[in-house]
A and B are shown apart, each in its own frame.
Chain A
């Protein structure tokens, strides 16, 4: 959808292991976002990027880091996964000018930390 691919689609990992989720877009959009979705909390912003190497924190950024070395790729890393990070992770993209377009979402990555 909207040229966004998330990988992997599903992952099960153990507590304490590092995990990297990838978001790839083919739209050449400037803005990229990582959200997590949990029952009872809705969608919450983890980190976002407004250009190559330009990133900022969202409301639930603790325990997560991101990198954007190319326009098309935005990586989310859990340095040491915890059970509280079990969630569905969505990447979203938005264009820059003249006004940011509505966010378009990828299909999500379901992460289970055991």
Chain B
């Protein structure tokens, strides 16, 4: 069974801290790994990672995939209260039914 595990499940930090969110996966045919941010409503897309070792960056957020370790990390530097959200990791599985397998998410709270 395809599985995506995120850790920690929740995290509380102060503004200005740097955080690292983890995602590990066990899937049959890996195609890509995606990160989403979910505030009150719809998850919004952050990154798609397909190649190991290549960092994707957007402002204070960055992410990297390690195919050998079957994992990915999402880093947020100089956190702000607006970063408070649930961060979802999903793995796209090739072949058969087209689907994303989601982890349960990490709830990040950034306090002022």
Contact = CB atoms under 8 A, between A and B. Distances in A.
15 contacts: A40-B104, A42-B88, A42-B104, A42-B105, A48-B99, A50-B98, A56-B97, A56-B98, A58-B97, A58-B99, A103-B34, A105-B42, A105-B44, A107-B41, A108-B41
A43 B104 CA distance: 7
Interface of A: 1, 31, 40-45, 48, 50, 56-59, 90, 100, 102-108
B100 A45 contact: yes
Interface residue tally of chain B, by bracket? 10 to 19
A49 to B, nearest CB: 10
B110 interface: no
Contact of A102 (B45, B99, B104, B105): B45
B102 A90 contact: no
Nearest to B42: A105
Nearest to B48: A102
B42 A90 contact: yes
A76 B88 CA distance: 24
B44 A1 contact: yes
A107 B104 contact: no
A70 B76 CA distance: 41
